[in-house]
Amino acid sequence: MNVIELELAKHLFAGIAEEMGAVLQRASFSPNIRERRDFSCAIFNLQGEMVAQAAHIPVHLGSAPLSVKAVLDAFELEDGQHYVLNDPYCGGTHLPDITLVTPVFWDGEARFLVANRAHHADVGGITPGSMALSQHIDDEGWRIGPTRFDSDVLDSLKAASRTPREREGDMRAQVAANLRGAARLTESFLGGRDLESLASEVLDYTESLGRTLLKRYPEGCWEAEDVLDSDGYNSLDIRLHAEVALKDGAFHVDFSASDDEVLGPMNVPFAVTYSATLYVVRCLLGADVPANDGVARLVKVCTRSGSILDATYPRPVALGNVETSQRVVDLLFRALSKPLEDLVPAASCGSMNSVVIGGIDPRTNEAFTYYETIGGGAGAGPGYPGMSGRHVHMTNTLNTPVEALEHAYPFKVVEYSCRELPKLEAGVQPGGSGVRRAYEFHSPCTVTLMTERRRNAPWSINAPDGERGRNLFVRNGEVRELGDKVTLEVEPGDKIVVLTPGGGHYGLHHE
């Protein structure tokens, strides 16, 4: 295959994945998928390797191959059959992220698989939004391992959810997205292309290019530590530890010295730890390297089963996907800042700042559940400031438009702005500023805030720490400070104010 053919093949597969995403977004019912685009689409070979992905959510995409491999291990693939799972112990992230896998047949044989993963706003559990301060995975909602998707499974999901109509609409959108991907691959087979050989060469090319680029960096072994604020219960300053090794164009990480899994939902399954590591490696390689599992061939991740970065059943994991994953990225960048200080940025805001609101909509007398994450500050780097109000690293969603939110739900956003940047000495690049977002409620609701970097500030490089976040509750003009992880009941007229963390700063090294 020559260079032109290789480039065409790369864009053929990536274009199909992007088209799958366009279908999923347009057909979905929930604002979280339709407006925030909290979903991901990709194409896989029969070994479960990702051939191409759309530019969607990093935490979904790095872990999705493990879910696809779980389906391949569980079933003899059938033409026309979809497979569904969300089990964090089978390559999933957390229970709201439901993965749908569909084989693509040609001439009576399975040739590829297409898959998408979407965050459903409610899949049951003890609080609206399935993002509870849980102590057991069953508290977090409907959980299913690799299963043939049919009407009975859909009915089971609807029965578990507080918003069954929305769940059915979003699942049908996921089916439509996979059908579009399968149709486009079939059209390419009809054109006489040997797609399997093309996919194999794209993966081999990516592996070769990635190895060459990693060899640009100094070889060695470096360690770093960072801490999580809490698990929502009694565990504070939960320690994460990484030992990073670069050698012969390969990237190895050992997280075994991290703390044990905790009571609350900050644990992560191995798939999320692996996904965060892949993301960091892709950052090192740059945008010219195709986004596929050729990169994964360069990466080895070691964990300790039963640690916070390799959770075991029945430990809860709802927040590991959205909070701990961000800290893993900052942890790896901290280790790499020792040999690559002139390349890597300071810590990001380190939190997706999850907000879940549920109740009965007085306009319809029907249950509703709303979920969003709020951007914060990105870390500054050598020669550039951090961006403000951004969804960073493991998330790639959009901020929900206020108009769409207020049209769909019985509350409003009364303030939405960037926080003020701190004053720093000359020569220090500032981290991006966080966001101030305030909600006012029209009816009784249950609100859950799941956040980080309220206790421990984002670390900087040769500069003061970045800005911590805050969570506030306002009733009758009285302001009360909330914890980093909390569920509370609000009444009409109450306000919740979320101030997200900024990014770490970057200063010049002084001898």
CB 258 within 8 A of CB 307: yes
What order do you get walking across the sheet with 50-53 strand by strand?
A: 50-53, 39-44, 109-119, 97-106, 83-85, 147-148
Who contacts 261 (Cβ-Cβ below 8 Å, separation ≥6)? 267, 306, 307, 308, 311, 312, 315
Amino acid sitting at position 134: S
Task: Please give the C-alpha separations between residue 82 and each of 93, 155, 157, in angstroms, as whole numbers.
Answer: 20, 15, 15
Task: Report the 10 Å Cβ neighbour count for 403.
Answer: 10
Tokens representing 101 are: 């896998």
CB 361 within 8 A of CB 409: yes
Q: Helix, strand, or coil here: 402?
A: helix
DSSP states of 292-307:
STTTGGGEEEE--TTB
Measured CA to CA, the distance from residue 362 to residue 413 in angstroms comes to 18
CB 69 within 8 A of CB 56: no
Q: Helix, strand, or coil here: 233?
A: coil
What is the model's pLDDT at position 192? 65
What is the model's pLDDT at position 511? 42
Task: Report the 10 Å Cβ neighbour count for 418.
Answer: 16
Closest CA to 321 of 255, 276, 256: 276
Tens-of-pLDDT digits for all 511 residues of the chain? Answer: 788 888 999 999 999 999 999 999 999 999 889 988 999 999 999 999 999 998 778 777 788 999 999 999 999 999 999 999 999 999 999 999 999 999 999 999 999 999 999 999 999 999 999 998 999 999 999 999 999 999 999 999 999 999 999 999 999 999 999 999 999 999 988 776 789 999 999 999 999 999 999 999 999 999 999 999 999 998 899 999 999 999 999 999 999 999 999 999 999 999 999 999 999 999 999 988 998 999 999 999 999 999 999 999 999 999 999 999 999 999 999 999 999 999 999 999 999 999 999 999 999 999 999 999 999 999 999 999 999 999 999 887 877 889 989 999 999 999 999 999 888 998 899 999 999 999 999 999 999 999 999 999 999 999 999 999 999 999 999 999 999 999 999 999 999 999 999 999 999 764 4
Amino acid sitting at position 366: E
Closest CA to 368 of 435, 441, 436, 437: 441
CB 160 within 8 A of CB 141: yes
Task: Report the 10 Å Cβ neighbour count for 119.
Answer: 28
Closest CA to 85 of 14, 16, 156, 135: 156
What is the widest separation between alpha-carbon atoms in the chain? Answer: 70
Q: Is the peptide bond before 290 cis (omega within 30 degrees of 0)?
A: no
The residue written with tokens 């959770």 in the block is: 311
Tokens representing 339 are: 């040999």
- Element housing 63 (H / E): helix 58-74
What is the model's pLDDT at position 447? 97
Burial of 201 (0-12, 13-18, 19+ CB in 10 A): middle
The pTM (predicted TM-score) of the whole model is: 0.94
The residue written with tokens 């929305």 in the block is: 166
Tokens representing 93 are: 């992230």
Say how many residues make up the chain.
Answer: 511
- Nearest 10 degrees: Cα torsion 236, 240, 241, 245: -170
Q: At what angle do helices 325-336 and 270-285 cross, to 10 degrees?
A: 40
Q: Cα angle at 28 between 26 and 31, to 5 degrees?
A: 100
Backbone angles phi, psi at 226, to 5 degrees: -150, 170
Measured CA to CA, the distance from residue 272 to residue 97 in angstroms comes to 12
Task: Please give the C-alpha separations between residue 114 and each of 52, 129, 295, in angstroms, as whole numbers.
Answer: 10, 27, 19
Backbone angles phi, psi at 481, to 5 degrees: -75, 135
